[in-house]
A and B are shown apart, each in its own frame.
Chain A
Amino acid sequence: MLTCKDFLHELSDYLDECADAAVRAKLEAHIAECPNCWVIADTTKKTILIYKGMEPYPIPHDVESRLMKALEKRIAAGRT
């Protein structure tokens, strides 16, 4: 029988869906019976999803204009 510690150890692979089928079955059997691990798996999954959906802030104008100036200068000098 899988312990909570074993479950935590495999959590990332489980959430990334790269745990093999046998391990996956054991993990699913464990969370079906362990509310704590179910909550941890569910909230960790939500954590990952929230960050994946996070778009970058628009790049500040001054940073972008310095970037474009630097690139234009580099391009004008020709490719080495």
Chain B
Amino acid sequence: MTVSSQASADETTLVAQSREGDTAAFGELVRRYEGKIFRLAQHVTQNREDAEDVLQETFMKAYEHLDQFQGNSKFYTWIVRIAVNQALMKLRRRKTDKSVSLDETIDTGEDTMVREIAAWDEDPEQRFSRDELGGILDTAVQSLEPPYRSVFTLRDIDELSTEETAEALGLSVPAVKSRLLRARLQLREKLTRYFKRKGDDAFAYM
């Protein structure tokens, strides 16, 4: 697959060319989104081998079903749905003998906790190198429980809408919203450790 001439091509054109059997165009679509799909698959499955399977299956299915892709949504949104389905299947297969499932109703009621309240610097991420920052952000997301992690990943990292996230995960919109709120607040709390303004004590405002 050669891609050099396709690098800046418009997505709609690439999809149309791929449908016509242009493998270079399809190769460019793969290259454009493979990083995001692999990341998403790793976030959902928490397993590199499974994530690699999901990555391959996603683009394989995308290729096989290109004819079914409706031009009214973004290509990225379409392959994200394929990827999420594949990743969830892996997860369910692995967890059949465990109690936690992504579809399980979880209590997101009253215990939205806020333990630490400290202001952050204006651009808190500037304090860290790119690699350090990546490590901090990854560790924080990994430490979320899977139901929160998957919602946060899709909504705030992969930037799907609430409705798309609900559809992809088979959840109701209110369930996505309450899980997202919990995830955001938990991450905020975890990151406060690194990003709070120097000299500010926790509970300074209490």
Contacts and interface: CB of A to CB of B under 8 A. Distances in A.
Nearest to B130: A55
A74 B114 contact: no
5 contacts: A39-B205, A42-B120, A46-B195, A68-B27, A74-B63
Given A50-B125, A79-B64, A80-B64, A43 B39 contact: no
Interface residues of B, number: 48
Given A63-B55, A74-B60, A39 B39 contact: no
Interface in B1-21: 1, 21
Interface in A1-41: 8-9, 11-13, 15-16, 35-36, 39-40
Interface of A: 8-9, 11-13, 15-16, 35-36, 39-40, 42-44, 46-48, 50-52, 54-59, 63-64, 66-68, 70-72, 74-75, 79-80
A51 B35 contact: no
Closest 3 pairs (CB-CB, A-B) = A56-B35, A56-B39, A12-B181
Interface of B is mostly: helix
B117 interface: yes
Contacts of A40: 114, 117, 185, 188
B119 A51 contact: no
B108 to A, nearest CB: 11
A44 B188 contact: yes
B188 A47 contact: yes
A46 B64 CA distance: 40
Contacts of A46: 120, 124, 195
A54 B134 contact: yes
A75 B119 contact: no
Contact of A57 (B64, B134, B181, B184): B134
Interface in B109-145: 112, 114, 117-120, 124-125, 133-134, 137, 141
B119 A67 contact: no
A59 B35 contact: yes
Nearest to B182: A12
Given A56-B39, A57-B134, A63-B38, A75 B125 contact: no
Given A39-B119, A56-B38, A12 B184 contact: yes
Q: Which of B118, B125, B156, B162 has the largest count of A CB atoms less than 10 A from its CB?
A: B156
Given A8-B114, A36-B206, A63-B52, A51 B60 contact: no
